[in-house]
Amino acid sequence: MEFAELIKTPRVDNVVLHRPFYPAVEGTLCLTGHHLILSSRQDNTEELWLLHSNIDAIDKRFVGSLGTIIIKCKDFRIIQLDIPGMEECLNIASSIEALSTLDSITLMYPFFYRPMFEVIEDGWHSFLPEQEFELYSSATSEWRLSYVNKDFAVCASYPPIVTVPKSIDDEALRKVATFRHGGRFPVLSYYHKKNGMVIMRSGQPLTGTNGRRCKEDEKLINATLRAGKRGYIIDTRSLNVAQQARAKGGGFEQEAHYPQWRRIHKSIERYHILQESLIKLVEACNDQTHNMDRWLSKLEASNWLTHIKEILTAACLAAQCIDREGASILIHGTEGTDSTLQVTSLAQIILEPRSRTIRGFEALIEREWLQAGHPFQQRCAQSAYCNTKQKWEAPVFLLFLDCVWQILRQFPCSFEFNENFLIMLFEHAYASQFGTFLGNNESERCKLKLQQKTMSLWSWVNQPGELSQFTNPLFEANNLVIWPSVAPQSLPLWEGI
Amino acid sequence: MEHIRTPKVENVRLVDRVSPKKAALGTLYLTATHVIFVENSPDTRKETWILHSQISTIEKQATTATGCPLLIRCKNFQIIQLIIPQERDYHDVYISLIRLARPVKYEELYCFSFNPMLDKEEREQGWVLVDLSEEYQRMGLPNHYWQLSDVNRDYRVCDSYPTELYVPKSATAHIIVGSSKFRSRRRFPVLSYYYKDNHASICRSSQPLSGFSARCLEDEQMLQAIRKANPGSDFVYVVDTRPKLNAMANRAAGKGYENEDNYSNIKFQFIGIENIHVMRNSLQKMLEVCELKSPSMSDFLWGLENSGWLRHIKAIMDAGIFIAKAVSEEGASVLVHCSDGWDRTAQVCSVASLLLDPHYRTLKGFMVLIEKDWISFGHKFNHRYGNLDGDPKEISPVIDQFIECVWQLMEQFPCAFEFNERFLIHIQHHIYSCQFGNFLCNSQKERRELKIQERTYSLWAHLWKNRADYLNPLFRADHSQTQGTLHLPTAPCNFMYKFWSGMYNRFEKGMQPRQSVTDYLMAVKEETQQLEEELEALEERLEKIQKVQLNCTKVKSKQSEPSKHSGFSISDNSIANTPQDYSGNMKSLPSRSPSQGDEDSALILTQDNLKSSDPDLSANSDQESGVEDLSCRSPSGGEHAPSEDSGKDRDSDEAVFLTA
């Protein structure tokens, strides 16, 4: 398919661009296969380059022959284009609409993007699981890398290489995979060097209503505990929801079969509830009426900060188990690809000083989000303005970034990166010239040959020139565990977003 | 002294607000000025000092097995819960505190017994640090349009105004006296701020006694004179800061507002700021929200909204923004009044001045601003902040709101203010503490009669002496955005106004950000300065050495030179590259601030001590506090918190599982 077919009018003159808090700009609008470009053709003026994939929704309006297109972006920007001529306006609008909703991933911009910079370090190879494993292996010999999933046959959403207890062989892993949702058998997420405790994550056990058991699963989980030690299983659903899941073949670990483990339910919302929360929040933020009371009640009604509080509380609890109780933990929800990852990654930020550095945080995202199979493609396809609600839409990653920001605000000197870094990650997760956040899991990324065909975001970010805008000048390595406060008074709204 | 029934009670428990299970055992002392609690544990002996004048309410709570709990709420938003074992002691302490917290004579206040060991001369110098006649000179007064009037000499015309007042040159004594008779409490229109650039001014007064139809020729002439004093504009804005309904209700009592028909060339404007009673209730509601033990997010937001506090703050800001715009952009003079012209008028005038004039955004300028718009123009500090026992209906957080407005502006313009958040918090503290004489009484007249300046000390001198603690490291006086008028975004966004947990939850350390950017930057700045000085000294030395070497021609000395040089660079690098000891660094800061600490600010001092004795960043206490936060702040975590006895917990969990 040629993009030219979709572009009905490639160029319109005398278009006026309105953006909130900026003066209006008049210039020429050009449409290309991937961008919408507005240039005033004067020197020293900024050009607007907007990726079609960043467009969330568009509205058209006509007053006489003057058409107006309002473009709402996934990064919450709203821009308005005044286009002279009804026909041009309609053509532009329908072209944008078509171009912003391409269904084939291989037509997306990352597959066409050619970097203007020299690649010093290929980001696709920056954070290999083997390297990450080496960081632990000096401290412990109880874990090994398993290649059981190398052709994605055991678990479609897991990477080819995972870390598992040494005493469990691949055959047992295959059996355990059949007992866990989506084949997501328990794997190592984090090793706490201070006391050797670990965070593992998995999908829910498929106990069903008749209380199925799996000996290998029990063995695997117990293999992670030292003699006489106890562990905690953190279920990110409420007990009620977990019980209901049994009717659909899911369920939770019964304590009788896992006598060394205690189960804790920490409810974190998921899916469309989060999406609606985001929609309400953005709506409240864009409301220009001057009424203070309505703002606060809208903020409250959005429940966004409630979700933040829930997630942070669960993460703090996990970190507390590890560091204060000296107990290992296993975290799962239903699928183990959303709230589970929020909790495991935030707990690591609290516990592990390395994850508060730029490279460490990148490694964390690579490991706990990309390789762990957070379905970015599904979750980030649309944002707050879209009318067609898909049930797998959810700002899970944005919530995670917001939580990181909350901790950053409370410990402004303990992070190597700054707010801009988090915003940059958010923007690229939703629309990017890089291939990093494409696809839903490693298996899809392999099939798309992203490593060969697209650039990695990390290749760009980790250049010294780019890094400077993301570094926090106040950073002083803080080797301690940081304990954020989760009281509502301590959690303001993140204005940067 | 005669009010203290029992000076010392042992085995008292101080309950930790965040985790009520933990309580510190210690001894409670009652002195003439303070309540002091000293912990028993020998390694800390932590002391908590509370000034009697800070005590807002004392509440007896239901007796429990462990003793009788006493809840003390302070005006600086600290809350203290004590458990006293013996019923009799409990009663005695309660009765004593009730009396001590409500002094009836000014002489009982702390400032008359407080002695910072300064000699007479230093005290006098302290009182002239902030000089209002100097301030009017800075504005460019007197000039062709404005003159100093002596009409209020000996407080003959208005007893709540100061003696030195600036009025338009064309306003004769006859006009002033006539106008004063037509205004509530004779507070006639006078100058508050003069904007040099375009001759526009901000004037203030009380409401006119217009009733339904009354007029006063002199008052109309007074406004005419104000207009004439500004040749750049042919009208004057008259801003009534009350809601229209309240102003109309006042007409029935023979008061009211200016009728546009009677005054030539005025533009009349209502700005609905609520009265002191509404504000008092609003603060009360907000504090109730802050006190909640472990609120959910919606409880908190709902309560915050319901209190209306941020809405009131926004109303005050909006009024200030309106006036600043009228003065700087339209070049029009503004007359501001409310009912009596000492609460809302003071708030609005000072916010507008702060927006207009960068001088007021400096340390010294801010003191001047409070001295001018609040102290000299007769804001009733004694009544509003309950320094002496009085009518509780007169109490209202008027200046607290102004201080919060300043904080909100600081959040918006982090580089525009020379001072930091701590400065505001300490001023708020001392408005209630009565440790210094500045905020005593209701007017200049009363203060002169009490001979305050001869018998007490000035807060401004104290703050100025310790100014290093109050500096904002981000302050950029030369930045284009911070010069001249501050321009808030044209489209006002509601999320500009935030909850100030630094003020209202300031004693709950766990809720505050654990690392202070301000302190950190100040430390870095100081260190840079030190290093630069060191570098300078070393360079000087190097120069000397080189001179010596030029004189000696021996090869040997040449060899020694590079080695010295490298030695120098190594030492320099090692200082620059060694990461500062984190906790050490943070600890050193509070220890720097008590250097302020003669004995003077006893409470502030103890706070700082608290800070340093509880090193926020050292492993133990920090971790502990984090854990506390978790177990008691997460409502659902309580039942399953692993810190509880795990055997028992397991049972309950199994029970759940069995019933399922």
Q: How many CA atoms lie within 13 A of B578 on its CB side?
A: 10
The pLDDT value given to residue B337 = 94
The pLDDT value given to residue B654 = 31
The shortest CB-CB distance from A306 to any of B298, B495, B504 is to: B298
**Partners of B73 in the beta sheet?**
B57, B79
The pLDDT value given to residue B68 = 87
Q: Which helix (H) or strand (E) holds B226?
A: helix B217-228
Cβ proximity of B659 and A239 under 8 Å: no
In the block, tokens 């829910």 appear at A204
CA distance B535 to B543: 12
Question: What residue of B is the nearest CA neighbor of A327?
Answer: B642
Positive or negative torsion for Cα A435, A437, A440, A442: positive
Report the range of poorest mean pLDDT among A50-54, A226-230, B140-144, B490-494: B490-494
- Cα A182 to Cα A146, A207, B596, B635: the distances in Å are 18, 14, 64, 32
As a whole number, mean pLDDT of residues B524-534 equals: 76
The pLDDT value given to residue B445 = 93
As a whole number, mean pLDDT of residues B238-251 equals: 92
Q: What 3-state DSSP class applies to B181?
A: helix
At residue B350 the predicted structure's pLDDT band, cuts being 50, 70 and 90, is: very high
Report the range of poorest mean pLDDT among A428-432, B325-329, B390-394, B482-486: B482-486
At residue A24 the predicted structure's pLDDT band, cuts being 50, 70 and 90, is: confident
The pLDDT value given to residue B461 = 92
Interchain pair B295, A239: CB under 8 A: no
Which residues of B are annotated as catalytic? 338
The pLDDT value given to residue B508 = 59
At residue A21 the predicted structure's pLDDT band, cuts being 50, 70 and 90, is: low
For residue A165, give the nearest of A141, A181, A184, A183 by alpha carbon. A141
Q: How many CA atoms lie within 13 A of B16 on its CB side?
A: 16
User: How many CB atoms are located within 10 Å of the residue A393 CB?
Assistant: 22
Q: What percent of chain A has pLDDT over 70?
A: 89
Chain A hits for B314, Cβ within 8 Å: 292
Model confidence over A341-373: pLDDT tens digits? 999 999 998 888 888 888 889 889 988 898 888
Cβ proximity of B518 and B473 under 8 Å: yes
The answer to whether A273 faces chain B, any CB pair under 8 Å, is no
Question: b/e string for A408-423 if b means 16 or more Cβ within 10 A?
Answer: bbbbbbbbbbbbebbb
CA distance A32 to A259: 62
As a whole number, mean pLDDT of residues A398-414 equals: 83
Cβ proximity of B427 and B376 under 8 Å: no
**Partners of A329 in the beta sheet?**
A199, A232
At residue B563 the predicted structure's pLDDT band, cuts being 50, 70 and 90, is: very low
Q: What 3-state DSSP class applies to B36?
A: strand
Length of chain B (residues):
660
* pLDDT higher at B508 or B367: B367
Annotate B243-296 with DSSP letters as a single string. -HHHHHHHHHTT-----TTTSTTEEEEE-----HHHHHHHHHHHHHHHH-SS--
Those residues with Cβ within 8 angstroms of residue A328's Cβ, 6 or more apart along the chain or in another chain: A197, A198, A199, A200, A224, A225, A229, A231, A232, A322
User: How many CB atoms are located within 10 Å of the residue B27 CB?
Assistant: 14
Q: Determine the residue type at A77.
A: R
The answer to whether B629 faces chain A, any CB pair under 8 Å, is yes
Which 299-328 residues of chain B touch chain A by CB within 8 A? Answer: 299-302, 304-305, 308, 310-311, 314
Longest dimension (CA), chain A: 80
For residue B422, give the nearest of B519, B313, B499, B355 by alpha carbon. B519
Give me chain A's average pLDDT, please. Answer: 80
- Cα A111 to Cα A108, A237, A359, A453, B252: the distances in Å are 6, 38, 25, 6, 77
The pLDDT value given to residue A295 = 73
For residue A350, give the nearest of A324, A305, A315, A321 by alpha carbon. A315
Which of A226-235, A282-291, B412-421, B640-649 has the highest average model confidence (pLDDT)? B412-421
Q: How many CA atoms lie within 13 A of A450 on its CB side?
A: 25
Interface test mutation site (partner A, options B307, B634, B648, B651, max chain A beta carbons within 10 A): B634
The pLDDT value given to residue A296 = 76
At residue B192 the predicted structure's pLDDT band, cuts being 50, 70 and 90, is: very high
The shortest CB-CB distance from B642 to any of A308, A327, A478 is to: A327
CA distance B644 to B655: 17
- Cα B255 to Cα A121, B246, B266: the distances in Å are 78, 11, 19
What is the 3-class SS of chain A, one letter each residue?
CCHHHHCCCCEEEEEEEECCCCCCEEEEEEECCCEEEEECCCCCCCCEEEEHHHEEEEEEEEECCEEEEEEEECCCCEEEEEEECHHHHHHHHHHHHHHHCCCCHHHCHHHCCCCCCCCCCCHHHCCCHHHHHHHHHCCCCCEEEECCCCCCCCCCCCCCCEEEECCCCHHHHHHHHHHEHHHCCCEEEEEECCCCEEEEECCCECCCCCCCCCHHHHHHHHHCCCCCCCEEEEECCCHHHHHHHHHCCCCCCCCCCCCCEEEEECCCCCCHHHHHHHHHHHHHHHCCCCCHHHHHHHHHHHCHHHHHHHHHHHHHHHHHHHHHHCCEEEEECCCCCCHHHHHHHHHHHHHCHHHHCHHHHHHHHHHHHHHCCCCHHHHCCCCCCCCCCCCCCCCHHHHHHHHHHHHHHHCCCCCCECHHHHHHHHHHHHCCCCCCCCCCCHHHHHHCCHHHHCCCHHHHHCCHHHHHHHECCCCCCCCCCCCCCCCHHHCCCCCCC
Report the range of poorest mean pLDDT among A55-59, A306-310, B292-296: B292-296
The pLDDT value given to residue B625 = 37
Those residues with Cβ within 8 angstroms of residue B196's Cβ, 6 or more apart along the chain or in another chain: B139, B140
Q: Which helix (H) or strand (E) holds B123?
A: helix B120-128
Backbone angles phi, psi at A206, to 5 degrees: -90, 70
Model confidence over A428-477: pLDDT tens digits? 888 888 888 888 888 888 888 888 888 888 888 877 777 787 877 666 55
User: How many CB atoms are located within 10 Å of the residue A144 CB?
Assistant: 16
* pLDDT higher at A485 or A441: A441
Chain A hits for B647, Cβ within 8 Å: none
Min CA distance, B504 vs chain A (Å)?
Answer: 10
For residue B347, give the nearest of B309, B308, B313 by alpha carbon. B313
- Cα A89 to Cα A68, A81, A92: the distances in Å are 7, 9, 5
Positive or negative torsion for Cα B329, B333, B339, B340: positive
Report the range of poorest mean pLDDT among A129-133, B17-21, B82-86, B529-533: B17-21
The answer to whether A387 faces chain B, any CB pair under 8 Å, is no
As a whole number, mean pLDDT of residues B596-618 equals: 34
Which 261-290 residues of chain B touch chain A by CB within 8 A? Answer: 290
The pLDDT value given to residue B574 = 31
Q: Is B275 annotated as a binding residue?
A: yes
* pLDDT higher at A411 or B110: B110
Question: What residue of A is the nearest CA neighbor of B523?
Answer: A474
Q: What 3-state DSSP class applies to B9?
A: strand
Report the range of poorest mean pLDDT among A1-10, A177-186, B584-593: B584-593
Which 402-461 residues of chain A touch chain B by CB within 8 A? Answer: 409-414
As a whole number, mean pLDDT of residues A414-435 equals: 84
As a whole number, mean pLDDT of residues A213-219 equals: 86
At residue A68 the predicted structure's pLDDT band, cuts being 50, 70 and 90, is: confident
In the block, tokens 């053709």 appear at A41
CA distance B381 to B90: 32
Backbone angles phi, psi at B133, to 5 degrees: -65, -35
The pLDDT value given to residue B267 = 92
Interchain pair A412, B517: CB under 8 A: yes
Interchain pair B294, A324: CB under 8 A: no
The shortest CB-CB distance from B520 to any of A243, A474, A483 is to: A474
At residue B397 the predicted structure's pLDDT band, cuts being 50, 70 and 90, is: very high
Cβ proximity of A316 and A350 under 8 Å: yes
Cβ proximity of A489 and B505 under 8 Å: yes
Model confidence over B299-332: pLDDT tens digits? 888 888 888 888 898 889 889 999 999 999 899 9
The answer to whether A327 faces chain B, any CB pair under 8 Å, is yes
Model confidence over A202-211: pLDDT tens digits? 999 888 888 8
Residue B278 has pLDDT above 70, yes or no: yes
Residue B570 has pLDDT above 50, yes or no: no
Residue A177 has pLDDT above 80, yes or no: yes
The pLDDT value given to residue A469 = 79
CA B283 from centre of chain: 15
Interface test mutation site (partner B, options A243, A489, A495, max chain B beta carbons within 10 A): A489
The answer to whether A471 faces chain B, any CB pair under 8 Å, is no
Residue B630 has pLDDT above 60, yes or no: no
For residue A157, give the nearest of A195, A137, A184, A130 by alpha carbon. A184
Report the range of poorest mean pLDDT among B19-33, B60-74, B584-598: B584-598
Which 295-314 residues of chain A touch chain B by CB within 8 A? Answer: 295-297, 299-300, 303, 305-306, 308-309, 313
Report the range of poorest mean pLDDT among A132-136, B317-321, B460-464: A132-136
As a whole number, mean pLDDT of residues A111-122 equals: 74
CA distance A139 to A192: 10
Q: Is B342 annotated as a binding residue?
A: yes
Report the range of poorest mean pLDDT among A78-82, A206-210, A285-289, B383-387: A285-289
Q: Is B343 annotated as a binding residue?
A: yes
How is residue B197 written in tokens?
A: 């650039």
Those residues with Cβ within 8 angstroms of residue A317's Cβ, 6 or more apart along the chain or in another chain: A234, A264, A266, B630, B634, B637, B641, B642
CA distance B281 to A465: 54
CA distance B505 to A453: 54
Chain B hits for A409, Cβ within 8 Å: 513
Report the range of poorest mean pLDDT among B277-286, B414-423, B527-536: B527-536
As a whole number, mean pLDDT of residues A98-107 equals: 75
